[in-house]
């Protein structure tokens, strides 16, 4: 089994997840579940739609923020791996010359 970290792949993955988070924030914000309230004024469905929209908006925000935070954390991890690789390369060069 190979435990080598594929830094480029990890970086790409983090960038993709962060982009999905940004897209989700925009896309899910546009979903208006409470619009049913104006279509069915006075109905139980309308009241339920308003309540559902509040929960949906909160969950959508949490999801989008979580995805963006994951992407940022992945970016920080990639930076850490790159720094370690650079330190290791410098140590090898210093030890062996070159």
**Residues 28-39 pLDDT 10s:** 999 999 998 888
Give 28: exposed, middle or buried? Use CB within 10 Å, 0-12, 13-18, 19+: middle
Residue 1 confidence class, pLDDT cut points 50, 70, 90? confident
Looking at the 3D structure of the chain, how many domains does it have?
Answer: 1
Contacts of 32 (CB under 8 A, 6+ apart): 53
Residue 78 confidence class, pLDDT cut points 50, 70, 90? very high
Residue 54, pLDDT score: 95
Percent of the chain whose pLDDT exceeds 90: 84
Range of the domain at 36: 3-97
In contact, 14 and 74? CB cutoff 8 Å: yes
Residue 43: DSSP 8-state: S
Percent of the chain whose pLDDT exceeds 70: 99
Residue 88 and residue 5: Cα distance in Å, rounded? 14
């Amino acid at each position: 089994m190979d435990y080598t970290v594929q830094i480029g792949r990890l970086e790409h993955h983090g960038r993709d997840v962060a982009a999905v988070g940004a897209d989700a924030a925009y896309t899910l914000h546009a979903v208006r579940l409470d619009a049913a309230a104006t279509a069915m004024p006075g109905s139980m469905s309308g009241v339920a739609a308003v309540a559902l929209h509040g929960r949906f908006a909160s969950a959508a925000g949490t999801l989008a923020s979580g995805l963006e935070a994951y992407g940022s954390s992945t970016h920080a991890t990639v930076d850490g791996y790159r720094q370690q690789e650079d330190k290791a390369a410098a140590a090898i060069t210093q030890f062996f010359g070159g």
